[in-house]
A and B are shown apart, each in its own frame.
Chain A
Amino acid sequence: MNTITKDQSPTLIIEDLTVAYRYGDLLLDAVRDFSLQIAAGQTYGLVGESGSGKTTVAMAVMRYLGDTGVVRAGKIEFDGRDLLSLNTSEMRQVWGAEMSLVPQNPLSSLNPSIRVGEQLSEILRHHQGLDRETARVKTLELFRMVQLPDPQWVADSYPHQISGGMRQRVLIAMALSTTPCLLILDEPTTSLDVTTQASILDRMSELIIDLQSSILYVTHNLGVVAQICDRVAVLYAGELVEDAALEDLFRMPLHPYTQGLLDSVPHLGETKDEVQLGAIPGQIPALGARPEGCVFEPRCPLAIQICSQRPPIISTNNGRKVRCHRWEEIASGSISAREIPREFKKEGTEITLDQYENEHGDTILDLRDVEVHFPLRRSIREVIITEPARKVKAVDGISLSLQRAQTLGLVGESGSGKTTLGRAIVGLVERTNGDIDLFGISLPPALSRRDFKTLHQLQMVFQNPEQALNPYLSIGASMRRPLMRLAKKSRREADKEVANLLKAVQLPPDYAFRMPNQISGGEKQRVAIARAFATNPGLLVADEPVSSLDVSVQASILNLLNELQIEHETTMLFISHNLAVVGYLADVIAVIYLGKLMEVSRSQDLFKPPYHPYTEALLSAVPIPDPSIQQGRIRLKGDVPSPVNTPSGCPFHTRCPHFLGDICVSKKPVWQMDANGNRIYCHIPVEELGAKQKNMIKQE
Chain B
Amino acid sequence: MQRLDYILKRMVMAIFVLISVSILTFFIARVVPSNPAAAWVGPHPTKEQIEKATLELGLDKPLYVQYQRYMQDLLSGDLGTSVRTHQPILSDIKTFLPATLELVFVGMLIAVLIGIPLGVLSGAFKGSWLDHFTRLISIAGVSMPVFLLGLLLQLLFFRQLGLLPLGARVSTEVALFHPVTPITRMYLIDSAVTGNWTAFKDASIHLILPALALATYPIALAIRMTRSTMIEVLNEKYIMAARISGIRERSVLFILALKNAIVPTLNALGLAFVYSLTGAILIEIIFSWPGLGTYVTNAVLGVDFPVIVSVTLIMTVFYIAINLILDILQAFIDPRVIIG
The answer to whether the Cβ of B56 comes within 8 Å of any Cβ in the partner chain is no
Do B241 and A109 touch (CB < 8 A)? Answer: yes
B39 to chain A, nearest CB (A): 45
Encode B182-208 as 1/0 by CB contact (under 8 A) with A.
000000000000000000000000000
**Could you say which residues of chain B place their CB within 8 Å of the CB of A112?**
238, 260, 334-336
Please state if A111 and B246 are interface contacts (CB–CB under 8 Å).
Answer: no
Question: Known: A158-B335, A160-B339. Is A127-B246 also a contact (CB below 8 A)?
Answer: yes
Nearest B residue to A161 via CB reads B335
- The answer on a CB contact under 8 Å between A93 and B256 is no
| A109 and B237 contact, Cβ closer than 8 Å, known pairs A114-B256, A380-B9 | yes
Q: Mark A88-124, 1 if CB is under 8 A from B, else 0.
A: 0000111111001101010011111110000000110
| A334 contacts B by Cβ under 8 Å | no
Supposing A112-B260, A113-B333 touch, asked if A105 and B12 sit within 8 A by C-beta, the answer is no
B48 at the interface (CB under 8 A from A): no
Q: When the two chains form their complex, are residues A174 and B237 in contact, meaning their CB atoms are under 8 A apart? A: no
In the complex, the answer to whether B238 meets A110 with C-beta atoms within 8 Å is: yes
Report B-chain residues with C-beta under 8 Å of the C-beta of A103.
Answer: 237, 240-241
Tell me the complex Cα distance, A93–B247, Å. Answer: 9
Contacts of A122 in B (CB 8 A): 247, 251
Contact present for B238 and A100 (CB under 8 Å): no
B5 at the interface (CB under 8 A from A): yes
Q: In this complex, what residue of A is CB-closest to B2? A: A379
Cβ of A381 < 8 Å from any Cβ of B? yes
With A and B bound together, what is the CA distance between A96 and B242 in angstroms?
A: 9
**B160 an interface residue at 8 Å Cβ cutoff?**
no
A158 to B246 CA separation, bound complex (whole angstroms): 22
Q: How far is the CA of A171 from the CA of B245 in the complex (A)?
A: 11
- Does any Cβ of A come within 8 Å of B248's Cβ? yes
Q: Shortest beta-carbon distance, B12 to chain A, in Å? A: 7
* B51 CB contacts on chain A under 8 angstroms: none
Q: Which chain A positions have C-beta within 8 A of B259?
A: 111, 113-114
Residues of A within 8 A of B256 (CB): 111, 114
A298 to B33, CA, bound (A): 81
In the complex, A123 Cα to B251 Cα: how many Å?
11
On chain A, the residues within 8 Å of B9 by CB distance are 380
* Cα–Cα, bound, A158→B256 (Å): 14
Contact status of A108 and B336, CB under 8 A, knowing A92-B246, A114-B256, A381-B5: no
Q: Say if the beta carbon of A126 comes within 8 Å of chain B.
A: yes
Decide if B240 touches A64 in the complex (CB within 8 Å). Answer: yes
Interface status of B161 (Cβ within 8 A of chain A): no
A126 touches B241 (CB 8 A): no
A420 to chain B, nearest CB (A): 20
* CA–CA, A101 and B251, complex, Å: 19
Contact of B246 among A97, A110, A379 (CB under 8 A): A97
Known contacts: A158-B336, A379-B5. The answer to whether A95 contacts B238 by CB under 8 A is no
In whole angstroms, what is the CA distance A687 to B333 when docked?
57
* Chain B residues near A486 (CB-CB < 8 A): none
Q: Which parts of A10-41 form the interface with B (CB within 8 Å)?
A: none
CB of B236 within 8 A of chain A?
yes
* B 225-258 to A, binary, CB cutoff 8 A, 1 in contact else 0: 0000000000011101111111110010000100
Indicate whether A62 reaches chain B with its CB closer than 8 angstroms.
Answer: yes
CA of A111 to CA of B247, assembled, Å: 13
Closest residue of chain B to A380 (Cβ to Cβ) is B8
How far is A109 from B259 in the complex, measured between Cα atoms in Å?
15
Distance (Å) between the CB of B125 and the closest chain A CB? 12
Q: Complex: how many Å from CA A112 to CA B238? A: 8
- Chain A residues with CB under 8 Å of B336's CB are 112-113, 158, 160
| A95-B237 in contact given A112-B336, A113-B260, A113-B335 (Cβ < 8 Å) | no
**Contacts A113-B260, A113-B334 given; 8 further ones with Cβ under 8 A?**
A64-B244, A100-B244, A103-B241, A108-B238, A113-B333, A113-B335, A174-B245, A380-B9
Residues of A participating in the B interface, judged by any CB pair closer than 8 Å: 62, 64, 92-97, 100-101, 103, 105, 108-114, 122-123, 126-127, 158, 160, 171, 174, 379-381
> What are 6 sample pairs from A and B whose C-beta atoms fall under 8 A apart?
A92-B248, A111-B238, A112-B260, A123-B246, A123-B247, A380-B5
- Chain B residues engaging chain A, CB cutoff 8 angstroms: 5, 8-9, 12, 236-238, 240-248, 251, 256, 259-260, 333-336, 339
Pick the 10 closest A-B CB pairs, nearest first: A96-B246, A96-B245, A95-B246, A108-B237, A111-B238, A379-B5, A109-B237, A113-B334, A109-B241, A95-B244
